[in-house]
């Protein structure tokens, strides 16, 4: 998987702890792994080496600022996965953002994978929940693992209901989130001392505040005093996300607040 993949960075080494696997990471370009690097990294029948059991792709790529992985890149890696008979998993926490931004149906993206996960929360606005999809065999195994991990729930319709609303009513809002993120990025870029780090393709804006003469922690706390919640994303980088419920007016308020903080 890519070196800045969420699964590698933020899941408490669940892959190693539960699946007993070692992760091999590759530096990507804007979140996308080079297919040549993927092929070179595949390890097989050598007594010294672990065998490659799975290829993972993250789309959109969070650490790369919500970057959309080009479909052509996914197609090439999919072809490799067929050539080497290695399954491919899509970490599609923000798959619908990728779909909307690239005007590509989710099934056209998911087609180049064997299994896919996506979040009903985050951009789609449900309070909780994620979906995993794959072949029936894969899903039977996943159900067993869910049970083992304590994930069997009762009266779960109460969680499914907002998930259905997320899918039926909230996909259509994503385009607006992306527009809002672009407006936000443009406005932040115009504030002296702030530099937008990413090409804003979806709903994430990464801002380097090195030249704002504030620390990241300080900047985030001051934003919080204006009821604006952001996250540190590296020593000098703050992540802003536009999602369900954030309006154009909110974006303007963020820009006013950021300007005030820089001027303090
Ligand atoms: C949130 C997130 C996850 C985890 O999703 P859950 O199913 O809610 O645990 C995985 N990958 C990425 C990129 C995420 O942002």
Say how far apart CA 151 and CA 130 lie, in whole Å. Answer: 12
Residue 202 lies in a domain: yes
Contact 261, 223 (CB under 8 A): yes
Number of domains within the chain: 2
Residue 1 lies in a domain: no
Say how far apart CA 179 and CA 126 lie, in whole Å. Answer: 21
pLDDT band at residue 75 under the 50/70/90 scheme: very high
Contact 108, 83 (CB under 8 A): no
Q: Is 25 helix (H, G, I), strand (E, B) or coil?
A: coil
Contact 137, 258 (CB under 8 A): no
pLDDT on residue 27: 98
**pLDDT tens readout for residues 17-64:** 999 999 999 999 999 999 999 999 999 889 999 999 999 999 999 999
Quick one: which of 53, 58, 117 has its CA closest to 86? 53
Q: Are residue 12 and residue 126 in the same domain, yes or no?
A: yes
| Ligand 1 centroid to residue 116 C-alpha, Å | 12
Q: Are residue 216 and residue 156 in the same domain, yes or no?
A: no
pLDDT on residue 44: 86
Which of 171, 197, 215 terminates a domain? The answer is 171
pLDDT on residue 84: 97
Which of 124, 150, 171 terminates a domain? The answer is 171
Range of the domain at 86: 6-171
5: tokens are 């993949």
DSSP run (H or E) holding 118: strand 115-119
**pLDDT tens readout for residues 127-175:** 999 999 999 999 999 999 999 999 999 999 999 999 999 999 999 999 9
Q: What pTM value is reported for the model?
A: 0.96
Ligand 1 atom nearest 61 alpha carbon: 13
- Rounded to the nearest integer, the mean pLDDT of the chain is 96
Which of 134, 150, 171 terminates a domain? The answer is 171
Quick one: which of 225, 184, 178, 218 has its CA closest to 67? 178
Q: Does residue 213 have a pLDDT over 90? A: no
We report the CATH number of the domain holding residue 254 as: 3.90.1150.10
Q: Are residue 26 and residue 129 in the same domain, yes or no?
A: yes
Contact 178, 101 (CB under 8 A): yes
Pocket test for ligand 1, best of 23, 56, 119 (most atoms within 8 A of CB): 119
What is the percentage of the chain residues whose pLDDT exceeds 70? Answer: 100
């Amino acid at each position: 998987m890519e070196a800045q993949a969420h699964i590698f960075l933020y899941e408490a080494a669940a892959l190693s702890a539960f699946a007993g696997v070692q992760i091999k990471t590759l530096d990507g370009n804007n979140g996308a792994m080079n297919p040549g690097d993927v092929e070179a990294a595949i390890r097989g029948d050598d007594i010294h080496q672990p065998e490659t059991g799975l290829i993972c792709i993250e789309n959109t790529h969070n650490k790369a600022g919500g970057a959309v992985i080009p479909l052509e890149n996914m197609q090439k890696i999919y072809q490799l996965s067929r050539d080497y008979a290695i399954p491919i998993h899509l970490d599609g926490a923000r798959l619908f953002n990728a779909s909307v931004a690239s005007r590509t149906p989710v099934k056209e993206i998911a087609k180049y994978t064997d299994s896919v996960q996506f979040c009903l929360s985050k951009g789609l606005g449900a309070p909780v929940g994620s979906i995993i999809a794959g072949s029936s065999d894969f899903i039977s195994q996943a159900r067993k693992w869910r049970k083992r991990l304590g994930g069997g729930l009762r009266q779960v319709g109460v969680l499914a209901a907002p998930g259905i609303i997320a899918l039926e009513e909230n996909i259509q809002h994503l385009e607006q989130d992306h527009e809002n993120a672009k407006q936000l990025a443009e406005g932040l870029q115009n504030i002296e001392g702030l530099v937008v780090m990413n090409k804003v393709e979806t709903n994430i804006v990464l801002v380097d505040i090195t030249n704002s003469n504030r620390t990241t922690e300080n900047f985030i706390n001051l934003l919080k005093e204006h009821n604006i919640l952001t996250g540190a994303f590296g020593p000098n980088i703050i992540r802003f996300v536009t999602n369900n419920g954030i309006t154009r007016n909110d974006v303007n308020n963020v820009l006013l607040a950021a300007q005030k903080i820089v001027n303090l």
